[in-house]
Every structure is written in C-alpha cells, then in structure tokens.
Structure 1
C-alpha cells in the first residue's frame, strides 16, 4: 500500500503549476464558477478567499472557518482538471495551521497555496488605510513548514503586502528575497495603486530571481501583455466572476420585481440547455442506459 505522502504526490501529477509560460488564473468561488472558468479556456484557477467569503454572505476578514473554506476548495478541485491555486490568506494561523492546511489541500489534488504576510485574522487588502504585517522571519517559518511536508509538486506562493501597507519598495524586495530563500516557488507582489508603476519597478529590481505573480485589480487598465513583458509570469483575475455574478443577479432581481415577471429577462440569462451542457447531463443519460435495466424492468 502506498503511503499518504506518495498518494498525495500521485494526485498532483498533471495538475502542477508551471510558470515556464505565462499563466493566467481565473477566479472561482464554487464548483460552477470553476467549471465556467475551465470551459472558457483558462488553464489555471484562483480559488479566491474574497470571492468564496462573498458567495457565502460573509466578509473577507477570516469570518469563514478553515474547514468550511476547505470544503469549497475540495469542490472546485473535484469538478475541474486544471491547476488550482488556493488563496489561503495568512495560512489560517501559525506554522502548524499552515502545514496542516497544505497537507489537506494536497489530498484534494489542489496544486498549491498562496499565503500572505499579514497577521491572522486577516482583513481584505483594499479595506482601510494600512494593515500591520507579520514578522518576516515568522512568515518564513510558515513557508518552511509547508515545504517540509514533502508534498512534491505542491506549489507555495508567498504574497507580500509590503506595498499595500505603505512600507516601501525596499521592504517589499527584502521580504520577497527572504521568502524565496525560505522555499517559496513564486512571489506574489500586491498593490492597490490605480496604475502599475510600482509593480513595474518591483519587477525591474527583482530581476527574475523567481516567478512573480501579479493581481491587476486596481490597475486594471494596464494590459496583461505589458505586465508579462515587464517580467510577470502569472496574472490573477482575482474577483471578477463573483463581481460579475453579483451585478447580474442584482439586475435580474430588480427586473423581475419591477416587471412582475421574466418576459424581459429570459433572453439575457443562460438557457437551461446551456446549464445542462455545462454540467454534462448527457453523460448521465448515457450512464443510465449502461447501468439501469430497460424501462418496464426491475427498478431500484
């Protein structure tokens, strides 16, 4: 019988995260949004803490317990075949919480986890004017603890919030270098500026020491092609499915309430046929023919 560690490694084969080519991650917050991301051509999924919290009606402020988050991550990985990178906040606690979460995620065939150097409980990066960061050496301990689990191709992405917190470029570069030395596979550099200037400066000074992932949420007017040319190896569209769905649901609810029906809405929503195709109802019909007796025979 294979050990648990060997089994985890086997599950990750074929779903490992590689930055040999630029990789674009689409946000998902449940099984359906993950399916849509894959079916529309995305080669990687970002399981977003903000989006999952929002979908569950909670704030992105560690209001969802880790066990509940893990159930959503498991569902996303279960229904997709592309790599899934989990937004694991600050690792759900100290080094022990982080390494336990990593082992569980690997069992679910999750491809990697991204942890950020903020204190636990965390608050969303775009709320408030500034947030305290964790001690850099303590955060390095979390990275080492995850790496020491021997999870094979399981990726560890270290996210620094130094620019978000206003600590400056030097602090961001120093932290990134320390996290790389601790065993991170990639660095996520975050910014809340409306332009990408400090991201470009970080990439220039980093000089490609390891893959860098960026999240153009506030600097959305910067084309991804420019970020890639500047040296980014990964781009995360971090919350766009949930924001699009919120806008669409609000519009649909308002239309039904105001119109007293759905006659003005039907042409603007997904057809039932489209839903059935996305969820592969044809496979179920085929399986029924194979495994169930003919109609009129014995039924379960």
Structure 2
C-alpha cells in the first residue's frame, strides 16, 4: 500500500521532496531513482499540467478534477515486493464543482493519494482556468478568501481518513500584475505578500492541513519572504513550494526557510518531450507520411506532444513496422531521459539540476495549449464495475463503494454538478442527502 504524505513527513523529519509522474513508467522511475548520496524521492506529484498533456487537452480545467482523477491508471496498485513505497499528492486545480468534492476525495483515498492541493483562483466555469506559470496568469484573479475557506471546509468534511491532507494553494504572487517601475513593483510584491499571509491564516483556520505558496518569479525572494514571516508565527503547519521558475534555489535553502515539501512539478514530462524531439529529428525527415492515415496521431506529432502521442500509439493495433520501430525508439529515449533527469535532480538538489535533459517549461505550456482530443465518456472510477445508484453497498468491494457514492451524489445534486467556483455557494440550490456546511465565513 502507498504511504501517506503525513507519514512521509514524519519519517523525513518534516522535509520531503516529490517528483511529477504521469504514467506507470514515470512512476517507476520516481520509485527507483537514487542519487549519488543514496537520496531518493519520497513520492509523486500528480500534476494537472502534465496529466492534461498526457491526455491531449489544455490545462484549463476543461474537465473537472474528479473526472481527471478517475483517469489516473498508474498510482495505487500493488508494487513489486522489492519496490519502495511512495506517497502521492494530487493537483486538484480549483477543487471543481462542490457536488463532486466528496466523490473526488473518496477516489483519491481509494487510490492511496495522501494529499490534495487546491488553488484559490477564481474559475468561473470549466475551461477558464489559466495556468499559474503562463504569461497571462495575472488575467485571472483570486477567489474570495472566505468563499475559498468554505471550499476547504467541504474538502475537510468529505475527508474522514485521518491521514488525508487538504492543502490550500495561494496564488497571490502569480495573479498580481508586474509593475514597470522599481518602486511600484516593490509595493506590488509587498501587497501580494500581505494578501498571501492573510489568506494563509484564514485557510489554516478553515481546516487546511498544509499551505502551498506559489510564485513564477525567477528569484525565490517572494517565496522566502512568505516562508519566513509565516514560520515566525506558525512553526508547525506544513508548507509546500514548487521551484519551477526559481530553479537555481537549492532545496536546503527552501527547507531552512521553512518549506516542508518541495515539488518538482513537471520535469519528467519535459524530459520525455525532449527525448521525443531528438528521436523525431533523426527519423521523421525520412518518413514524412508515417501517420498520414491517422489524423489523431498526426496532430499529436505536429503539436510535438510526445506525452500524448506515445500512449495513443500503444492503443493502436494496426501500426506498421516503421511506426512500431519509431515507437520503440521513443520509449527507449524517453525512459533514458527521464531517468537521467531524476538522478540529476537528486544530485543537484535544485530544480535546474536537470535542465540539460528538459525542454523549457514555456515550451511545455505551449504544447499543452494545443488541444488534441477530448474523448471523455461517463466517469468510471478505478477498479470498479458498472453499478447503479440503487445498488447495495454491502455487495461491493471498497472501490465499488466509491463509485456507488458518486452515483448517489450525482443523482442527488442533478444539474448543480456543473456549477463552478465563482458564486457557487449562493447558486448551488443543493438538494439530496449531502449538505454544504453551514459554517459562517469570518
């Protein structure tokens, strides 16, 4: 069984690091990677950006966090006897429709995921989320902090497992507008810092088990300022950081400032796409019509989304010899690149340590933004058979109970399932057996 993030923190003396995984192979690489000093990753980060890249859809919350969680097919199985246990944290974007939160938590707990991270962006409807690292991230504001605190309470009410952690991700730095003058920029950063600290207090009081502070600055100053001021008042609440852009900041600097969890959020997908670029430069000029009869594969290739291309090729049973040889080359090169990236991260102990093996994160965002396919049918939760809302829970295994509860919640909420973040507390019109909490905003 997987271990919880809470247990990993206890075993790691309050300091752990996670690496992004998006399929079984990348998870195995995270599990088996060992640095020169025998350091290893404590767990995996199930990233919204890399999972949607794998699926061939934009990272814009075009599908809900529950739908995306139901498509995870690589975490929570039984590893080989000699394998090392990993914890996992799930990127749940804004949290999704309130009616889906209990089912989302149940799905994650059933898989063994120990932490869910929800961000306080204002997402008015599906498909409108802007990635925090995008140049246009300031176009999206933050949700009202007290409404978001109510979202945290819903997650906490749904999460009855004692080790399951709900983490509030604060976007005050990524949603601010960068100023041209030095004085105005300094004032903007200070205002964002004050806002972030105020939100952290509200979210913690609402029940958040941990706080994540996000930044897209190339320097760690914003994050370090937050860590220092938060830790001066609260030495215990776990703090999460993601040094994708401030990649030259060593892990030890972040931990010494107060960070508990360091996440390398998209590195294995960036390594995989880099490998695909290199292999394709050698092979494709000689085979220009390789996918001329398969428009979906052709679109994947033209988008350079090798994270999506490879699993789609594996689905095909009619691939010719040249395509099969190309796929084998892609798989081998991607595995080699991802292993090298993981080792470099462990040895360097900072996010830039693997740069020679990666495409820039800006390129990943561009590739992710090119929608390739959207073939999502009804939600089928992992490991469970088709059931109806009237099925008896006693007749089902644990994962079947998860699906049954989702069906009942779905039936009870009706059309409100599609309601989204902004103003949903007022507009939900909730009915059914599960109720929104009545705790008043502070």
Q: TM-score band (shorter)?
A: 0.7 to 0.9
1:271 Cα deviation after fit = 8.7
Residue 229 of structure 1 corresponds to 256
Equivalent position of 1:83 in the other structure: 87
1:113 CA displacement:
0.5
Tell me which residue corresponds to 2:20: 27
Correspondent of 1:148 among 152, 157, 163: 157
> What is aligned with 1:15?
4
Residues 119 and 170 of structure 2 are in contact (CA less than 8 Å); yes or no, is this contact kept in structure 1? Answer: yes
Measure the CA separation in 2 of the matches of 1:215 and 1:45. 13
Equivalent of 2:120 in 117, 122, 127:
117
**Partner in structure 2 of residue 100 of structure 1:** 103
Count of matched residue pairs: 259
Q: Which residue of 2 aligns with 1:39?
A: 32
Shift of 1:259: 6.2
Taking the aligned partners of 1:271 and 1:50, their CA distance within structure 2 comes to 20
1:63 matched to 2:65? The reply is no
In 1, the alpha carbon distance for the partners of 2:74 and 2:275 equals 23
TM superposition shift of 1:48: 0.3
When normalised by structure 2's length, the TM-score is 0.54
Question: For residues 271 and 198 of structure 1, do their structure 2 counterparts lie closer, same or farther at Cα, with a shift above 3 Å needed?
Answer: closer
TM-fit CA distance, 1:99: 3.0
CA distance in 1, matches of 2:114, 2:89: 6
Deviation of 1:65 after TM superposition, in Å, equals 4.3
CA contact (8 A) 2:66 2:101 kept: no
> Aligned partners of 1:103 and 1:194: how far apart in 2?
37
TM-score by length of 1: 0.79
**Cα distance in 1 between the residues matched to 2:43 and 2:207:** 22
Answer whether contact 1:25 1:46 (CA < 8 A) is retained.
yes
RMSD: 2.6
Q: What secondary structure sits across from 1:75 in the alignment?
A: coil
Q: Which runs of 5+ in 2 are unaligned?
A: 34-39, 80-84, 177-190, 288-321, 340-442
The question of 1:177 aligning with 2:170 is answered no
Q: Distance in 1 between matches of 2:244 and 2:100?
A: 28
**1:132 equivalent in structure 2:** 141
Alpha-carbon distance change, 38 to 49 in structure 1, aligned in 2, over 3 angstroms: same
Quote how far apart the aligned CAs of 1:79 are: 5.6
Contact 1:213/1:232 (CA < 8 Å) preserved in 2? yes
Which runs of 5 or more residues in structure 1 are unaligned?
1-10, 276-300
Of structures 1 and 2, the one scoring higher in RCO (CA 8 A, sep 6+) is 2
User: What SS does the corresponding residue of 1:148 show, helix, strand or coil?
Assistant: helix
CA distance in 1 between counterparts of 2:266 and 2:42 reads 17
Q: Offset of 1:210 from its aligned partner?
A: 1.2
Say whether the 8 Å CA contact 1:212–1:233 is kept in structure 2. yes
Corresponding residue SS for 2:283: helix
* Cα drift, residue 256 of structure 1: 1.3
* Worse-superposed segment, 81-90 or 252-261: 252-261
